Chains A and B, each alone.
Chain A
C-alpha cells in the first residue's frame, strides 16, 4: 500500500504538468468607466508639505539674509554694499508676500504654466523640475553659476539638450556672464534683467518672460532660460541649434525647367525659402502654435496688400480652432482645415516647392507651413490648380497647353476608360467596330471570368503594385516593377486568367493616372473609378453618365476655404487663359477672379513695353 502510494506519487510528480513558478505576466489593466479615480489623501499631504517646505526655505533665506546684514552692519559702512543689501531684503520681502498661505493655495489650484516667475531662484528651479518631471527626464539641463559683480549674483541656466547649439551657449552666454565682465558691475542697480540684456549678453535675440508658460515655450523651441536670484523675471536667450536636413531637390514634384529646391522639415528654413523668392516687406508670416501637447509651430504666409483679409481671418480662425494633441504633418493639418473632410478630393494644394507657394501667394492665396513637415498647404484653390505644375510657365504657351490637355485627358481616361469598356462590352456591343468586338470576343474565349471581375482583378493587382512600390525599400523597387509588369501581365494572359485587352485597358488607365500631377487628386480619381465601374456593370453607359453627373454635382458643391472648387467654370466667373489652356505669358494680366484679391491686376496692360520703343541702336 505504502509502496503503491509512493510510486503513484513519484509517477504523478514525473508526468503531471506543473507550470514553472514565475510571476504572472504583465497585463495592462482596464480603466473603469464612470468610476472616478480615488483621491489619495497623500496628495493633499504632499501639497501641504510643499507649501510648508517653501515657507521653511523662505525662513532659511531670511535667516541667512539677517546674518549677512548683521555682518555688514558690524563692518564699516559702504554705500554700495548697503544698496545691494537693501535690494536683497526687498526681494525677500517680495518673496515673503508671494508666500502667504492664501496666495500659495490659489497658485496651486492654477495651471502651473500661468504662474509667475518667483524671485527665489530655489522656487523657480523646483518649479521647472516639477514641470519637466526631473530627475526622470534627462532632456532639461540645469547649469548653476554665479555672475561676478557687486554683489555676485546667483543664477541658473536652463536649456534642453538636443535643441540648442552648444557653441552659442558656451561663447555667447556663459563666457560673457562668467568671464568677460569685471567684478565692479552692479547688476542690482536698476532693473537687473534690462542691464544684462543691454550691456552684457551678446546673444542676438533676447527677451524677458514673467510666466512659466512663456519660459516653457521658449525652452521647447531651443532657447535658453536664465533665472537670477531675487529677480521675478527670466531672460530668454536665442540658442536654437537643432539638427536638420539641408535643402534638397523636390522628390514628388520634379521639374525639368523649374527651380530645384524643395522645402525641408524646419519651419524657419521654409519661410526663408519663400521669402527668398518674394523679397518684399509685404510678405507677412504669422506664427502660431498648433497641438495642445506638441506645441508645433505653424506659419501662415500671405501678401498683406494683396490677399483678401477675410481669407486670412478665416484661416487663422480655423487654425486657432484646432484642438488636438498633435498635428503629425501638413497632410493631417490639411484634413483639420478643409470644408469637406468626407470627400477624398484634395481641397487645398500640398506642395513641396517654394516657387509654387510664391506663385500662389502672388495670386492672392494663403500658404500654411507646419514645423516638421516639408510640405506647404496652399488654399484656397480651385480643382484646376491641381492640374497645373510649377513649371507650366517655363514653357511656351503652346507646349504648356498641350501638356495640360494631356493631363486632363489622362484624368478623364483614368476615371472612365475601364467603366466605358465594361459598359460597352456588356450592354452596347453595337457601339464599337465589328472587327474590334470580334477581337475582344476572340480574346475572351479562353477566359473563365466575367469582364467585370477581370477588370477588378487587374486593377486590384495594379493598385497592389503601386502600394508595394511605394512602401518597398528603394533597393527592391526595380525588381517589384519587373515582377509586376512582366510576370503579372504576361503570365496572367497566357494562363488564361485575363484577356490581353483587359491588360491593355488597365495599363493605359494606370499610365494615365500617373499624368495627374497631384498625388491625392489622383487617389480620389482612382477611387471614384471603381464606383463608375460598378455603375457601368449595372447600368451600362447610362450608369457611367449618372456617375459622372453625380461627381460633377458633388464637385460643384465643394468649397476650398470658402471658394467654389470648380470656379471659374462653375460658378462661371471671368477667367483668363490659365485654367485648362495656358495663354501666352503677356496675356496673364489679371489674378483669378474667385479669390477677390485686393488688387486684381498683376501685370501692365502691355507688359512687354519694349515692343513700343525703338529697337536698340535706332534711338534717333
Chain B
C-alpha cells in the first residue's frame, strides 16, 4: 500500500513537473495587440501595423501609482508598422521592438486598407483563420486610404481603450448605416455558395463640413446618402466614422455601398434595424416628416428558378411611428395615414432596389439571395456547377414593402398651430 501510494505520488509529481508551467506567463509580461492594420507595400510585400495597448495608460493607473489621468502619460497605445512578405515575419520583428511578448489573442479589429482589399485578401485569410491565436470575433473593417494612417488618426474620445471603441461601436449598429462583420462571418462568406463576404467601411473625416453625398436622394427622402469620410461635419470629435459597406466578390473588394444601400442590406439581412428617417411630406412636398421605424417582421424572400433565371420575391414589413409633422397635416387617421405609409414603403423599396441594382452590377451578393435559391436545384451536382454570381446578376427581384404606422408619438392627433393663417387651412 505504502509503495503504491509512493509511486502514485512520484508519478503525479513527475507529471506535473514535465507538463506544467511552460506556457505560463504573467499578465504584465505580455504586450496585448489590439488592432492589426494591413496595407499593400511595394514589391508584393505587405505592411502590417500593430496597435499595442499600454496597460498603465489604458487600464487607468496601477496600484497606488497615482497615474490616473485620462490616458496616462505617453498615450494609451503604441503603434508599430512593419513591411514584410508574410504576417508571421512581422510578429517576429514586433518582438524585437519590445521587451514583452506580443499576444494577439486580444486583437479586436482587423483594419484593411482599400488598396490591399481590392488586391484580394485570400492569402491573409488563410493565415488568420488557421492561426489559433486569433479570435473569430475580431471585426473586419475596410478603410479608405491606408490602414496605417487610419489607425494613427483614430483616437476615440469617449473610450479610454481602443478595444472598447471597436467592440461598442460594432455591437450597436441599429442605424443600419454600417454592418458588423467579424473574421468568422467573413470566412463563411468566402466559403459559402450563394452569399458574398462584406466588411464594414470606415474612413477618417477631414472635418471640413463639406457636403459630399454619395448619390442624389430618392424623391421621397429628405436626407442624402453618404459614404464614410464624406459626412458633412465639423467639431472636435474623433475623425473616424463608419458608414457604408465594402463589397467583395470572392476575396477581392469590388465596391462600396452608401449608407442608404447599406441600410437596405441590413433590413434584408434582418439585423435589428431601427432608427429615424426624414421623408418628404406627401401632400406638402416642401415640408418633411420625421419617422421612427423598425422592422416589423423578418423579411421574406421567396425564390424560384425559371429557365435558369432566378426570380426572387422580397416582402418587407416596416413598422413606423410618427415623430413630427411640421406641415400640421393630420396624418394619423384615414387616407392620410395610408398616404404616409405608402410614402415610407416607396422610400425603402427605392433604397432596396437601388442597392440590388448596384450589387447586381458589381456581382456581389451581400444579402445572400443565393442561399434561398439552393433548394431549387435538383441535386448537389447542379448546385455545385451553378455560377451564383452570374445567377445573381441575371436575377429578377421583385420588392414589396409594406408599412404600418403603429403609433403617433405623444400626440394622438395633429392640432392646427394657432399662428397658421387662412391660406393654410388645417387638414383635419
Contact = CB atoms under 8 A, between A and B. Distances in A.
Given A442-B58, A539-B16, A496 B63 contact: yes
Nearest to B17: A538
Interface in B17-73: 19-21, 23-28, 30, 32, 34, 53, 55-56, 58-65
Interface string B180-212: 000000000000000000000000000000000
B27 A429 contact: yes
Nearest to B20: A538
A547 to B, nearest CB: 11
A496 B105 CA distance: 28
Interface residues of B, number: 34
A537 interface: yes
Main secondary structure of the interface of B (DSSP, over half): loop
Nearest to B105: A430
Contacts of B58: 435, 438, 442
Interface string B144-180: 0000000000000000010110010000000000000
Interface in A379-431: 425-427, 429-430
A500 B61 CA distance: 11
A419 B394 CA distance: 60
Nearest to A539: B20
Interface in B219-241: none
Nearest to B132: A430
Contact of B63 (A425, A438, A500, A537): A500
Contacts of A430: 103, 105-106, 133, 135
Interface string A527-568: 000000001011110010000000000000000000000000
A430 B24 CA distance: 13
A442 B55 contact: yes
Interface string B271-296: 00000000000000000000000000
B65 A446 contact: yes
A493 B61 CA distance: 13
A508 interface: no
Contacts of A427: 23-25
Given A426-B25, A539-B20, A438 B64 contact: no
Contacts of A498: 63
Contact of A443 (B30, B32, B59, B161): B59
Contacts of A535: 16
Contacts of B135: 430
B372 to A, nearest CB: 37
B55 A445 contact: yes
A444 B64 contact: no
A448 to B, nearest CB: 11
Contacts of B94: none
A441 B55 contact: yes
A170 interface: no
A140 interface: no
B111 interface: no
Interface in B81-126: 103, 105-106, 108
B218 to A, nearest CB: 41
A429 B63 contact: no
Given A430-B135, A435-B163, A538-B16, A494 B63 contact: yes
Given A429-B103, A430-B106, A435-B164, A493 B64 contact: yes
Contacts of B167: 434
Contacts of A496: 63-64
B171 to A, nearest CB: 13
A434 B63 contact: no
Contacts of B16: 535, 538-539
A425 B30 CA distance: 11
A447 B27 contact: no
A434 B21 contact: no
Contact of A539 (B19, B27, B30, B62): B19
5 contacts: A427-B24, A438-B32, A444-B28, A445-B56, A451-B26
Interface of B: 16, 19-21, 23-28, 30, 32, 34, 53, 55-56, 58-65, 103, 105-106, 108, 133, 135, 161, 163-164, 167
Interface of A: 425-427, 429-430, 434-435, 437-447, 450-451, 493-496, 498-500, 535, 537-540, 543
Given A434-B32, A437-B27, 17 more contacts: A426-B25, A426-B26, A427-B23, A434-B106, A437-B32, A438-B32, A442-B59, A446-B64, A451-B26, A493-B64, A494-B63, A494-B64, A499-B62, A537-B20, A537-B21, A538-B19, A539-B19
